[in-house]
Amino acid sequence: MSVNNRKNWEITIDELLQDGWKEFKNPFSDNKISLAKTFEGYEKCYCNAPKNKQVEIYKHGYAYGHEGGFEVEVCGELPDGEWVRLTAYGLCPLNSTKASLEEKVIELLKAWDFMVKNNKDYVNRKQNETY
């Protein structure tokens, strides 16, 4: 990885940390950097309710034909008990800025909200069918 690429990565990570993202060690992954942040105003995970929805960003080493990449993930339990993982991956580090990663976060949170609301409707229909 070139020095300039490393500097771009570091700047993006530093900006995210300054904006309230928290670095953590993900025990299920060998990612060098994992960040998490919770967001108000979106549907909550049914397993972790009443906590706000958490989003995670991972920084990978060499992958996807680039010298590394970012991954943005929203994961949670739907009202019917099913688990869903929404992931945007292979985000090129040269094009990934704090702003572009935050846009991807909002896209995934909106997709999460859509899934939860549709799943609530499904659960309600199923409950009505049994009576």
Distance CA 129, CA 74 (A): 31
Tens of pLDDT, residue by residue over 75-90, are 999 999 999 999 998 8
Mean pLDDT within 33-43: 94
**What is the end-to-end Cα distance of the chain in Å, rounded?**
62
Asked whether the bond before 50 is cis by omega within 30 degrees of 0, the reply is yes
Is residue 75 within 8 Å of residue 43, measured between CB atoms? Answer: no
DSSP 8-state class, residue 65: T
**What pTM value is reported for the model?**
0.84
DSSP per-residue string spanning 20-58 = T-EEE--TT---SEEEEEEETTSPPPTTTTTSPEEEEEE
Q: Name the amino acid, one letter, at 121.
A: D
Domain boundaries, the chain: 3-129
Average pLDDT over residues 5-21: 81
CA 81/CA 94 separation, integer angstroms: 38
Q: What is the mean pLDDT of the chain?
A: 85
The predicted pLDDT at position 19 comes to 95
